[in-house]
């Protein structure tokens, strides 16, 4: 059971070192494909930025100690019978400061604000429509006074919205626990304030379960309330994965989302089939999907099935 859990985690969220021992010669910069050079340059740039920021904590720094960058870049072309074609993208990079006793970190990203403060970019189905005003650049600093295997308490503050300079502050507590041998439970509570939303809270519950050597279940529900939202903004998802290869999986998903005090509280729900695999590199992933959803935003609309299809290319960099 534990093998399938680890395999799925590696496939969904992290690169592996498989095959590195087989490398005998490293190609020169001229020989490297553009995608490899781009990834190395992205990692080096983030690490160099961390070294510059961390220099404020010490008179001298060791450049070799700054290899803590990690993150992901996603590009997602998708077509929806309801909303048409769009090209979505998101970026997230995290660096840890060695001179600050590795309790301070910096985060830069572009994406949905709820995902950013909740650190739940992986859990939200990419097919959920989002307000484009939230698709903006964000920059933040984090402080992690308590980090353990099961508990994590962290604080963060920063700005979002580019030149709009919409400041925010958040405090986040995570708890993880293994239930029996096959189920992992995760909960996260976030309190935040941002200038455009006022004070708010967000709560996430998630369960991961190994059903057999090849079958895996992943379910979660997340609710967010803020002073200027229309009630509670909530998302829920249930996925069943079949691992037919260490680097490939197919899945079926059912998902819902809405906002409790809108004219139509249930904004959308749908089903989709998806396939995820490594693509050419150990740190590059390709996910494709096709599905149906039933959106409705106003009383005048008639809820009916709409087709959707999309691809997502994800590049992981750093550690």
**What number is the average pLDDT over the span 268-296?**
94
Strand partners, 287: 276, 312
Confidence of residue 125 (pLDDT cuts 50, 70, 90): low
DSSP string, 15-35: ---TTGGG--SPPPTTTS-HH
Q: Report percent pLDDT > 90 for the chain.
A: 39
Distance CA 8, CA 246 (A): 8
Distance CA 316, CA 319 (A): 9
Bridging pattern class, strands 232-245 and 248-259 = antiparallel
Going along 112-259, which residue ranges are E strands? Answer: 136-147, 151-160, 166-179, 183-194, 198-210, 215-226, 232-245, 248-259
pTM for the model stands at 0.77
Q: Which two tokens stand for residue 240?
A: 């069943």
Per this entry, what is the length of the chain? 319
Strand partners, 254: 238, 271
Distance CA 18, CA 62 (A): 29
Q: Do 272 and 253 touch, CB atoms closer than 8 A?
A: yes
pLDDT value at position 57? 63
Q: CB-based contacts of 242: which residues, under 8 Å, 6+ apart?
A: 214, 215, 216, 249, 250, 251
| More confident: 254 or 36 | 254
**What number is the average pLDDT over the span 57-66?**
68
C-alpha torsion sign, points 243, 247, 251, 255: positive
pLDDT value at position 40? 86
pLDDT value at position 208? 94
pLDDT value at position 9? 46
pLDDT in tens, 139-182: 788 888 766 778 888 898 888 765 567 888 999 999 999 888 88
Residue ranges and CATH numbers for the domains of the chain are 2-17+32-318 (2.40.160.40)
């Amino acid at each position: 059971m534990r093998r399938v859990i680890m395999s799925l985690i590696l496939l969904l969220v992290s690169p592996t070192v498989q095959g590195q021992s087989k490398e005998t010669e490293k190609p020169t910069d001229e020989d490297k494909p553009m995608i490899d050079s781009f990834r190395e340059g992205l990692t080096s740039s983030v690490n160099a930025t961390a070294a510059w920021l961390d220099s404020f904590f010490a008179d001298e720094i060791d450049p070799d100690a700054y290899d803590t960058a990690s993150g992901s870049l996603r590009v997602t072309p998708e077509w929806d019978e309801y909303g048409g074609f769009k090209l979505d993208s998101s970026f997230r990079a995290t660096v840890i400061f060695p001179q600050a006793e590795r309790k301070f970190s910096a985060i830069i990203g572009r994406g949905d604000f709820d995902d950013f403060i909740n650190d739940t970019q992986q859990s939200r189905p990419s097919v959920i429509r989002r307000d484009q005003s939230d698709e903006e650049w964000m920059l933040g600093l984090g402080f992690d006074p308590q980090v353990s295997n099961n508990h994590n308490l962290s604080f963060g503050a920063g700005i979002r919205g580019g030149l709009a300079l919409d400041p925010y502050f958040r405090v986040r507590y995570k708890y993880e626990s293994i239930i029996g041998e096959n189920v992992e439970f995760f909960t996260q509570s976030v309190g935040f304030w941002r200038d455009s939303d006022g004070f708010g809270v967000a709560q996430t519950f998630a369960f991961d379960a190994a059903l057999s050597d090849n079958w895996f279940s992943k379910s979660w529900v997340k609710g967010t309330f803020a002073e200027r939202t229309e009630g509670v903004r909530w998302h829920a998802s249930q996925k069943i994965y079949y691992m037919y290869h260490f680097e490939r999986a197919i899945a079926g998903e059912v998902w819902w989302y809405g906002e409790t005090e809108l004219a139509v509280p249930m904004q959308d729900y749908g089903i989709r089939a998806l396939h995820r695999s490594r693509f050419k590199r150990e740190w590059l992933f390709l996910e494709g999907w096709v599905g149906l959803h039933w959106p409705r935003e106003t009383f005048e609309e008639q809820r009916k099935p709409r087709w959707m299809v999309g691809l997502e290319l994800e590049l992981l960099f750093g550690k």
